[in-house]
Structure 1
Amino acid sequence: MNGEGWQISNPIMGIAMVGITFLLFYVVGYVSNRRSASAQELYVGKSNVGPITNGLAMASTYMSLATFLGITALILNLQAPFILLWIQLILAIPLITIIYGTSLRRMGAFSPTHFIRNRYGVKASIIAALFMILVSIMYALGQMIGIAVTFETLLGIPYMTGLIVGGLIIVGYVTIGGMAGATNNAAIQMVIMALMFIVPLAAIMKAVGGSGWYFPPLLYADMVPAMLEAVPTFFDYQFSPKWYFAIIPALTIGALGLPHLAMRVYTASSLKSARSAMVWFAFILGLVFSATYAMGFVGVFATATQGLNVSAADADKLTIILNLVYNPEWVTALVIAGAISAGLSTLSGNLLAIGALLSQDIVSTLKPNISQKMSLRLGYISIFIGGVISIILAIEPPAFLVVSILWAFGLAGVTNAPLIIVGVWWKEANRYGAMAAAVVGGAIYIIVSPFVFPNIVLTGHAVTDGMGISGALLAVPISFALLIVVSYITNRIPSLDNRLTKKEDSELIEQIHGWKDVQPYRYNSTIGAAITVVISVAVAIWALMPWGM
């Protein structure tokens, strides 16, 4: 089974499916957002979203086209390690709520950069906002690549045409919908994604001889003996132990800094609602993430035992190819509609984050007297511009669409997450430490990234070297260490007069934790800070040592 230019033979069917879903999303987006009268309403959807809708929207925003296409491609190429990746990814939103989401909501901040501005000052917040715009654009880039690949398969058109047509349609949808539209649509998109991913996977598993086809996320175990006979190394740990450890700073800590994920906490109607949404998030995300690994497993199984031939250039299309081979075309059309739903959902979060960062965290910060009307207009313009930039960057994409997404996770973990985590839990963190951590840590991560000088931190494997995960093992601990050390030193230079032991600063930290009385000993441990620095420096040194295989 070989395929050159995999595509649906009858694109009308696919166009109809996609057209119906787009029409539904546009209507929901317009109706949901037609009354947004302020920038805050545009970005947090009036903060009245219920737990089920918000939980589904969180999962939908998080999964993206990487779930449908990119990750299955990497499982095909890298095999078993990505089960560990999913374990780290699924921890992120619950940790956002536990570590700082509740605190930031008490503070009244509706974006992570809003917290950084109040905690460290305007300069630090603008630096963080600029990095987060880059993070959001790189994350959106992966979605744009996936949209182009999907339209290419759907219509048999060139990648560039699919990119421009699909990209502009989606950017228009997000610009019209705002956060209220994105949240309601994301909940719908999550249901579509789950059904259009898991049900067709069941049919594929049945076609290749799997008796556990009726619950694909877990019951592919009967196929394991045949898989081990054909691919004996499939479940082996094939890479350096450091590579597996690097997933923690790259993805779990990285996800804590992603602005479009943190914003979901602020759309909830209450803290109780936000916590309840975590349950729904974890359930649906675990279900579909497990199915993603099962889809990758079946893809490797089919290439090893069924004669399916998927070239490296077509690896990102693995999910669609499996449906083209083993299911009727109308099923593949539904799968493509589900894939586009995944891209729509995550792009919504990315572009809304870009809009909030540009209009609220940069322009409104520098010009605080700007009118609500102008601020709202800037938000819409920023969303559109961010989408156009991601389309332009997708013209020359990386080898796998998920590479830019993984890189974005790592950069968020270097430049945003340390400032928030340390800022919430340690009073002595100050603006000098925050700026040093973001600028130096961010620069180091960019330098060792797959896009600049990828040979500095090598894992010894061509595919993993290009993913950016290894760079996070070096840059994230450096960022944490710099934030703590620079803050500690500058707090003890009398002429700077910037200690965070001032009454108003102590009150801010204790207020966001829910305390009504101020106690100097709370959140002020020098020993805890020192231990964090020692561990961070040790990890950074370890990252620079030879990785091995």
Structure 2
Amino acid sequence: MEDQLWQLSNPVIGIIFVVATFALFYIVGWVSNRASKSVEDLYAAGGGVGPITNGLAMASTYMSLATFLGVTGLILNLQAPFILLWIQMILAIPLITIIYGTSLRRMGAFSPTHFVRERYGVSASIIAALFMILVSIMYALGQMIGIAVTFETLLGIPYMTGLIIGGLLIVGYVTIGGMSGATNNAAIQMVIIALMFIVPLGAIMKAMGGTGWYFPPLLYADMVPAMLEAMPTFFDYQYSSKWYFALIPAFTIGALGLPHLAMRIYTASSLKSARQAMVWFALVLGLVFSATYAMGFAGVFYTQTEGVAISQADADKLTIILNLVYNPEWVTALVIAGAISAGLSTLSGNLLAIGALISQDIVTTLKPNLTNSMKVKLGYFSIAGGGVASVLLAINPPDFLVVSILWAFGLAGVTNAPLILMGVWWKEANRFGAIAASVVAGGLYVVVSPFVFPSIVISGHGLTDGMGISGAMLAVPLSFLLLIVVSYITNRMPSLQSKLSTAEDHKLVERIHGWTDVNPARYNSRFGAAIISIICIGVAVWAIMPWNL
């Protein structure tokens, strides 16, 4: 079975479904975005999206092709309890809303880098924007890889051909739709993703003999005895406590810094609407994430009980493989359409974030006198450019498509999240601390990843380093520590006082929290900053100690 070609024998019906899917998304995107006249319309949909649509769009943007393909492939090869990873990641958008989303929306920002510019100055915001462009491109890279894999399976064409076809279709779709089109499409895509993932999974579980097939996300328990007989170690926590702890800085804090997630908060019609959207987000995302783990479970169950070997090169196709084995081909075609929908929803968020970062947070910051029409045109060109860059990077992809996505989480947690969290909740945070945190910690995170200097790593375990788990455990606490210590010291250096805007910073912090007065003691705890610093030192030291996986 190592040489099995996992693809549709008759791709015609699959092509029909995929063409219909793309046609629907293009039409919705064009109709939704045709009234866009400003950058606020392009990137924040005019701030008029309702809670149900926004909640579904948030979940769809976060879902990504990693849900359909990448994570199930990792479960197949690692048997890691990825439910813990999902728990860390699903916390992100509720925490964004609670911790800083409301404050930034009250401020009138429609991107996290906008806040960095107002809080820390132009230089810090441009550095943050450059890192966030890298984050968004690496996140988009995983989606492009997944799109190429699905086209490869659907049409039986080479990976490179699938990449070019899929890439061109997606870049055109996102560029035409803008945030209005992306949001309306993402809500539709979320419904497609849920149905095309969970319903076929139920059929697979029923064919395997499972009695809980009618609710796959949770009711696969009756298959557990057979799984344990075939593979007794599947549910073992095979990694050290350090590995699981490292998921927090890599994925929870990392997700707090992802620009395309935070942008969804700013599309809400009101603060109340943004909070209500969280309920829909958590409900739908929890349902599909649970089903993802069940799909990985079913994949391992299939290989172990049937004696089938799926090569590492085909691991990312596990969801499609199970459908090819247990369901009619027309069902597999629908699943492929769902997978493409997952990739489209996340890619749209990534590319819109890239467009906002380049056009608004870099070019417009340096050239503030650009006309509104020129800003909008620049935004479209930036979105298309980000798509082309992700296609080029996908030519030589990592072994697992999810690796680049998870690495991007860590980089966001190192370079973006500390600046926002401390900037919102600690008045002493200043531009010198922000720049030091981004440049030093961000540079360290890149250096210790196996993508740049393979011999300089933290854990020595390829996948752990590649996913950014070990690098984030070191660089995220270092980023917080640098921001706190450098800010505290420079705030007390008389020679630097003329380069700081302390009074304005304090007013901004008070305003974004809803206060009309300025209280020097409010949001200015030295004790809290000291506790955070001590914790960060402890975690960073633990990170550089030997990793016993």
Q: Same fold (TM over 0.5)?
A: yes
Name 2:311's counterpart in structure 1. Answer: 311
Aligned length: 549
1:274-324: per-residue Cα shift (whole Å, max 9, x none)? 000000000000000000000000000000002332111100000000000
Contact 1:414 1:472 in 2 (8 A): yes
Name 2:155's counterpart in structure 1. Answer: 155
In the alignment, the residues of structure 1 paired with residue 487 and residue 82 of structure 2 have an alpha-carbon distance, to the nearest angstrom, of 37
In the alignment, the residues of structure 2 paired with residue 80 and residue 502 of structure 1 have an alpha-carbon distance, to the nearest angstrom, of 47
Q: Does 1:266 align with 2:266?
A: yes
Name 1:491's counterpart in structure 2. Answer: 491
Q: How far off its partner does 1:260 sit?
A: 0.3
Q: How far off its partner does 1:457 sit?
A: 4.0
1:335-368: per-residue Cα shift (whole Å, max 9, x none)? 0000000000000000000000000000000011
Contact 1:147 1:340 in 2 (8 A): yes
Name 2:361's counterpart in structure 1. Answer: 361
CA pair 77-256 structure 1, distance change in 2 beyond 3 A: same
CA RMSD of aligned residues (A): 1.2
1:348-392: per-residue Cα shift (whole Å, max 9, x none)? 000000000000000000011100000000000000000000000
Name 1:327's counterpart in structure 2. Answer: 327
Name 1:177's counterpart in structure 2. Answer: 177
CA pair 125-152 structure 1, distance change in 2 beyond 3 A: same
SS in 2 for 1:8: coil
Contact 1:492 1:499 in 2 (8 A): no
Q: Does 1:36 align with 2:36?
A: yes
In the alignment, the residues of structure 1 paired with residue 363 and residue 537 of structure 2 have an alpha-carbon distance, to the nearest angstrom, of 36
Name 1:198's counterpart in structure 2. Answer: 198
In the alignment, the residues of structure 2 paired with residue 267 and residue 149 of structure 1 have an alpha-carbon distance, to the nearest angstrom, of 32
Gaps spanning 5+ residues in structure 1: where?
none
Q: How far off its partner does 1:470 sit?
A: 1.1
Q: How far off its partner does 1:456 sit?
A: 3.9
In the alignment, the residues of structure 1 paired with residue 58 and residue 150 of structure 2 have an alpha-carbon distance, to the nearest angstrom, of 23
SS in 1 for 2:146: helix
Q: Which amino acid aligns with 1:188?
A: I
Name 1:344's counterpart in structure 2. Answer: 344
In the alignment, the residues of structure 2 paired with residue 259 and residue 463 of structure 1 have an alpha-carbon distance, to the nearest angstrom, of 25
Name 2:131's counterpart in structure 1. Answer: 131
Higher mean alpha-carbon deviation, 290-299 vs 491-500, is at: 491-500
Q: Which amino acid aligns with 1:451?
A: F
In the alignment, the residues of structure 2 paired with residue 499 and residue 373 of structure 1 have an alpha-carbon distance, to the nearest angstrom, of 34
SS in 2 for 1:44: helix
Q: Which amino acid aligns with 1:504?
A: E
Q: Which amino acid aligns with 2:67?
A: T
Q: Which amino acid aligns with 1:40?
A: E
Q: Does 1:209 align with 2:209?
A: yes
Q: Which amino acid aligns with 2:211?
A: S
1:229-279: per-residue Cα shift (whole Å, max 9, x none)? 111111111112111111100000000000000000000000000000000
In the alignment, the residues of structure 2 paired with residue 116 and residue 208 of structure 1 have an alpha-carbon distance, to the nearest angstrom, of 52
CA pair 287-219 structure 1, distance change in 2 beyond 3 A: same
SS in 2 for 1:497: helix
Name 2:482's counterpart in structure 1. Answer: 482
In the alignment, the residues of structure 2 paired with residue 535 and residue 505 of structure 1 have an alpha-carbon distance, to the nearest angstrom, of 26
Contact 1:427 1:500 in 2 (8 A): no
Name 1:112's counterpart in structure 2. Answer: 112
TM-score by length of 1: 0.98
Contact 1:14 1:330 in 2 (8 A): yes
CA pair 250-227 structure 1, distance change in 2 beyond 3 A: same
In the alignment, the residues of structure 1 paired with residue 491 and residue 498 of structure 2 have an alpha-carbon distance, to the nearest angstrom, of 6
In the alignment, the residues of structure 1 paired with residue 231 and residue 398 of structure 2 have an alpha-carbon distance, to the nearest angstrom, of 28
SS in 2 for 1:239: coil
In the alignment, the residues of structure 1 paired with residue 455 and residue 94 of structure 2 have an alpha-carbon distance, to the nearest angstrom, of 34
In the alignment, the residues of structure 1 paired with residue 462 and residue 104 of structure 2 have an alpha-carbon distance, to the nearest angstrom, of 40
Name 2:60's counterpart in structure 1. Answer: 60
Contact 1:3 1:309 in 2 (8 A): no
In the alignment, the residues of structure 1 paired with residue 502 and residue 202 of structure 2 have an alpha-carbon distance, to the nearest angstrom, of 61
Name 2:419's counterpart in structure 1. Answer: 419
SS in 2 for 1:40: helix
In the alignment, the residues of structure 1 paired with residue 51 and residue 187 of structure 2 have an alpha-carbon distance, to the nearest angstrom, of 11
Q: Does 1:517 align with 2:485?
A: no
TM-score by length of 2: 0.98
In the alignment, the residues of structure 1 paired with residue 99 and residue 457 of structure 2 have an alpha-carbon distance, to the nearest angstrom, of 30
Contact 1:144 1:167 in 2 (8 A): yes
Q: How far off its partner does 1:2 sit?
A: 5.9
Contact 2:136 2:354 in 1 (8 A): yes
Name 1:301's counterpart in structure 2. Answer: 301
In the alignment, the residues of structure 1 paired with residue 362 and residue 463 of structure 2 have an alpha-carbon distance, to the nearest angstrom, of 37
In the alignment, the residues of structure 1 paired with residue 428 and residue 351 of structure 2 have an alpha-carbon distance, to the nearest angstrom, of 34
Contact 2:216 2:294 in 1 (8 A): yes
Percent identical across equivalent pairs?
79
Contact 1:442 1:475 in 2 (8 A): yes
Higher mean alpha-carbon deviation, 67-76 vs 509-518, is at: 509-518
Q: How far off its partner does 1:501 sit?
A: 8.0
In the alignment, the residues of structure 1 paired with residue 457 and residue 394 of structure 2 have an alpha-carbon distance, to the nearest angstrom, of 25
Contact 1:422 1:429 in 2 (8 A): yes
In the alignment, the residues of structure 2 paired with residue 222 and residue 154 of structure 1 have an alpha-carbon distance, to the nearest angstrom, of 33
1:495-545: per-residue Cα shift (whole Å, max 9, x none)? 111587843322110110111221100010111111111111111111000
Contact 1:450 1:468 in 2 (8 A): no
Contact 1:427 1:523 in 2 (8 A): yes
1:157-188: per-residue Cα shift (whole Å, max 9, x none)? 00000000011101000000000000000000
In the alignment, the residues of structure 1 paired with residue 493 and residue 416 of structure 2 have an alpha-carbon distance, to the nearest angstrom, of 26
Name 1:49's counterpart in structure 2. Answer: 49
Contact 1:414 1:475 in 2 (8 A): yes
In the alignment, the residues of structure 2 paired with residue 307 and residue 477 of structure 1 have an alpha-carbon distance, to the nearest angstrom, of 45
Name 2:538's counterpart in structure 1. Answer: 538
SS in 2 for 1:157: coil
Gaps spanning 5+ residues in structure 2: where?
none
SS in 2 for 1:339: helix
1:130-165: per-residue Cα shift (whole Å, max 9, x none)? 000000000000000000000000000000000000
Q: Which amino acid aligns with 2:65?
A: L
Q: Which amino acid aligns with 1:476?
A: V
1:99-130: per-residue Cα shift (whole Å, max 9, x none)? 10000011111100000000000000000000
CA pair 498-63 structure 1, distance change in 2 beyond 3 A: farther
